[in-house]
Chain A
Amino acid sequence: MPKWAANIAAACGLLLLGLTVSEARAVLPVPSGPVLLSVTGSIAEANGEGRAEFDRQMLEALGTVRLRTWTPWTDGVAEFEGVPAARLLDAVGAAGTVLLALATNEYSVEIPVELVRRYPVILAMSMDGEQLRLRDKGPLWVVMPWSDYPELDSQESRYWSIWQLRSIDVR
């Protein structure tokens, strides 16, 4: 087979793969385990009454990434693993400019959507390989890539970095 033909075949394959992947995304499954996060507000995808609920398995299925960064609350650099916030927003078809995030400890903060679109902010589920528990800011902690983007080191980003995150209302 000539080389160009192989290239075309590969391109077609990728295209097909892309199509099937985008079709598979259509419906949000229903959580089977304890619900870690519920998303409400202006969202297109839901699995409950006006809300999209996620258990740990569902969050992991969205695809997790690792992020090495210092934080204002940890000694030195730590490695976090979690779902990119932007990916979560895509999964629920979020259309809004502000995320009203609420924590189990009743803290709440408004995070601009632009922030999570511009920077790889994650909803961390583990730190240095250890699953985050409620007592150490888990099960979900909004972590910013402070090490990679020094401009994020501001008072505001510390407020945005909500831990014990329980729900997000997209506004």
Chain B
Amino acid sequence: MRHLRLQHDWGYGFFAVAVVVFAVCMVLSLGRIKASHITEASISAANLWGVAQANYELLRLVNTLDAYATGTLEVTRDDLVERFDIFWGRLPLLVEGPDGQRIVDISDAEEIIPDLRRELARLESAILAIEPGNREAHLRLREALLTFHSPLHRLFVQANQNYVFATSRRSQHIDELYHHHRIYQGGILISVGMFVLLLLREIRSARSAQREAIATRNQLGTVIDAVPVMISMVDRNCRYLLMNRHQREVLRIDEPAAIGRLQQIRMDPDGDRLDRRVLETCRPVAPYEQTRLDADGRERTWLTTKVPVLDDAGMVQEVVSVSMDITERKASEARIRYMAMHDPLTGLPNRLLFSDRLSQLLGEAGGRRRGLAVHCLDFDNFKEINDALGHPIGDALLIAMAQRLQRCVRGSDTIARIGGDEFAVIQCDVEQPRDAARLAEKLRTAMQEPFLIEGHEIATTITIGISLAPRDGELPGDVIKNADLALYQAKTEGRGSQRFFEPEMNERAQRRLKLAGDLRRALEAREFELHYQPKVDLAHRRISGLEALLRWPHPEHGMVPPAEFIPVAEETGLILPLGTFVLKTACRQLRSWLDEGLTPVPVAVNLSAAQFARQDLVGSIRQLLEQSQLEPRLLELEITESVLARSASQVSSVLDRLRALGVSIALDDFGTGYSSLSYLHRFPIDCIKIDKSFISRICHDQNSRSIVEAILSLARTLHLKTVAEGIETEEQLAWLRERGCDEVQGFYFEPPSPARHCVQWLAPGARSEVDSRVA
């Protein structure tokens, strides 16, 4: 009896261990799943957008305050209140993120934000009550608001770090998750095995009491049969003593047939060998994975462990095997891994996998002294296509593009979709820059063939920036950044081109950044001014109009060429306030000439594509004309062909409404862009300005002459006025006059001059030097 009790105690201990192991495994497994969720969440929770937005909204508030207080731009008190409220509403979100998670490290945000909120509450009434022209209050409030910038920037830096950290952790985490799963599954198997052992021991200990043994055995059988895990036991001769229902179902055999048979029925050929090993070593086998076909011929993966059953003498009498079907779990793990690393639309690797591969290859490349190239690809007109034809077609186009790109690269190269319409390629084994240039050409050529998608024939081009490793950098971040800079440079040089990275591009990017800051400041300090260049009517021999041109006398660098600052203004959105400035100044100037009793001529103002995209363009021009009490015919708007190419139907309706106002429209730089003759009759245009690049060559280049002649005769047929730009010699003038060009403009007559110089041309009855030159 005493012996029996001892066995029982031992058994209970065993049971307890089994339960604890099982419970711990479950808890850990759940814990891992939760941890993975939190990591996923923290990626979006590291919601950089929110913090970046706060900084941006603060600056917008300050700008609006400036504009309202100084009365420079059309800003109302409502606009100011709106900006204030938006910033006010943003602050609490930084403590409690828009997805319920904290965005930034708790200690800092919780420390900083309440202070900022208190300070903002203190400033509220003063900001909302400020009157235009109150310079002292304006500067005081401006100063106070700008003190918010540094703590918000600190949060931004932190959020950025969190984000970068979370992203890089993500791929590492997926591997860890997979690894841990195996361990926990192994733990569960071991605990099931221990549970079986416990029951066996119970039986053995109860051998003397036959009835108890039968009862226990029945319980054991019931439990073992109910578990959806394969459990079996073999004796020292590897013959089955026990096989639970799940295993019999999987193997499609009935119990009497199984019991006592040799191992030939098992589907696991290693099983026999491993059983023998357990019998010899008395040690359990650690969980191992095996993929085999089941009775239906489907491929399944099992996780198996084997445990020895020892008798009182410590000899192995039986071996218990426990196997778990982990096919689905493995498949879902693979799916998760795939989804985290691939773009769901095109199936290509995403930015994460791209950077992973790049880091890996750069590590190797260093060791093997082999170069690689990164190509950044941008689809030049994807956005327009997407806008014009809709997202479903845009998506189908992306898929088709991805397939075509994939056909151009070798299996060892990686092609990834790293952004909306941005793709990137890692090209391996690049010995010379020529190898990379060749692939870029191949990619560009492949895209030249139009795509046929749902009945639409879509033509597109791609621009490519290339950087080489190790030549242009050895860190993944640098290589990608440099390829991006090269892409930027290529795009400014024209769509459909390719460029290698050059170290100067870095400096240029820095300069652009500085220029953008200077632009902002110059706009506030009102450094910009307008110069006017006359247009001369060849038939009537008089000045028929002026073109207003933006000039920037920089306090340090002197005159900054528009070609340098306009692209930066377009990128930063400053083109909008600049455009407003030009329109307003031109209208005011006209008004003051009228007030001085001069005979004003129409003034032409250049409109940017961004201004065109604004919904209120027509309304604001109407308002401007009314405010300065000008006849609309005195205003002429010059647009480039690229504006027309953007969104034909919208542009057409805006142009119609402008014409209905009485404003005339000129097509600028004609012949240089995507000249499409169809524009000329599709859009309501009054005038074509022939680009100066043709005019400068008319005297010595037959091709240019033919082009200009064609433009002139076309314009005559369509009843459009023609203006030739960039006249520099008498010869050019004579040639144009002979062919019936209506108006000319250029240095031959006058360079663009400040407004005060224009007075001489506008005085009633004035005959200036211009007239004598026309004559």
Cβ contacts under 8 Å, A155 to chain B: 41, 44, 99
Query: Does A158 sit within 8 A of B, measured CB to CB?
Result: yes
Chain A residue nearest to B124 (CB atoms) is A135
Residue among A73, A98, A105, A134 having the largest count of chain B Cβ atoms under 10 Å: A105
Main secondary structure of the interface of A (DSSP, over half): loop
Chain A residue nearest to B89 (CB atoms) is A135
A30 vs B100: C-alpha distance when bound (angstroms): 39
Cβ contacts under 8 Å, B98 to chain A: 72-73, 158
Cβ contacts under 8 Å, B157 to chain A: none
Chain A residue nearest to B90 (CB atoms) is A105
Residue among A133, A135, A163, A164 having the largest count of chain B Cβ atoms under 10 Å: A135
A107 vs B49: C-alpha distance when bound (angstroms): 10
Chain A residue nearest to B657 (CB atoms) is A49
Segment at the A interface, from B80-88, B283-291, B699-707: B80-88
Check A135–B85 contact: CB distance below 8 A: yes
Query: Does B96 sit within 8 A of A, measured CB to CB?
Result: yes
Check A158–B100 contact: CB distance below 8 A: yes
Chain B residue nearest to A75 (CB atoms) is B96
A159 vs B41: C-alpha distance when bound (angstroms): 13
A159 vs B81: C-alpha distance when bound (angstroms): 26
Contacts A134-B86, A155-B41; A105 near B100 (Cβ below 8 A): no
Check B391–A134 contact: CB distance below 8 A: no
Main secondary structure of the interface of B (DSSP, over half): helix
- Specify which of B41, B57, B85, B653 is in contact with A133 (CB 8 Å cutoff): B85
Contacts A136-B89, A171-B390, A171-B391; A104 near B100 (Cβ below 8 A): no
A94 vs B147: C-alpha distance when bound (angstroms): 46
Check A137–B44 contact: CB distance below 8 A: no
Query: Does B53 sit within 8 A of A, measured CB to CB?
Result: yes
Contacts A105-B57, A158-B98, A158-B99; A134 near B44 (Cβ below 8 A): no
Cβ contacts under 8 Å, B89 to chain A: 105, 134-137, 163-164
A20-69 interface with B by 8 A CB criterion: 49
A-B pair count, CB < 8 Å, reads 43
Chain A residue nearest to B86 (CB atoms) is A105
Distance in angstroms from B392 CB to nearest chain A CB is: 9
Cβ contacts under 8 Å, B84 to chain A: 135
Cβ contacts under 8 Å, B86 to chain A: 104-105, 134-135, 164
Distance in angstroms from A131 CB to nearest chain B CB is: 13
* Chain B 666-694 interface 0/1 with A at a Cβ cutoff of 8 Å (1 = within): 00000000000000000000000000000
A104 vs B98: C-alpha distance when bound (angstroms): 16
Cβ contacts under 8 Å, B391 to chain A: 98, 171
A105-159 interface with B by 8 A CB criterion: 105-107, 133-137, 155, 158-159
A158 vs B93: C-alpha distance when bound (angstroms): 13
Cβ contacts under 8 Å, A98 to chain B: 391
Cβ contacts under 8 Å, B90 to chain A: 105
Check B99–A104 contact: CB distance below 8 A: no
Residue among A134, A137, A163 having the largest count of chain B Cβ atoms under 10 Å: A134
* Chain B 96-132 interface 0/1 with A at a Cβ cutoff of 8 Å (1 = within): 1011100000000000000000000000000000000
Check A73–B96 contact: CB distance below 8 A: yes
Cβ contacts under 8 Å, A104 to chain B: 82, 86
Cβ contacts under 8 Å, A105 to chain B: 53, 57, 86, 89-90
Give the interface of B toward A (CB within 8 A). 41, 44, 53, 57, 81-82, 84-86, 88-90, 93, 96, 98-100, 390-391, 653
List 30 A-B pairs, Cβ < 8 Å: A49-B653, A72-B98, A72-B99, A73-B93, A73-B98, A73-B100, A104-B82, A104-B86, A105-B53, A105-B57, A105-B89, A105-B90, A106-B53, A107-B53, A134-B81, A134-B82, A134-B86, A134-B89, A135-B86, A135-B89, A136-B89, A137-B89, A155-B99, A158-B98, A158-B99, A158-B100, A159-B99, A163-B89, A164-B89, A171-B390
| Further 18 A-B residue pairs, CB within 8 A, beyond A72-B98, A135-B89 | A49-B653, A73-B100, A104-B82, A105-B53, A105-B57, A105-B90, A134-B82, A134-B85, A134-B89, A135-B88, A136-B89, A137-B89, A155-B41, A158-B98, A158-B99, A158-B100, A163-B89, A171-B391
The 8 A-B residue pairs with the shortest CB-CB distance, nearest first, are A72-B100, A134-B85, A135-B85, A135-B88, A158-B99, A135-B89, A105-B86, A155-B44
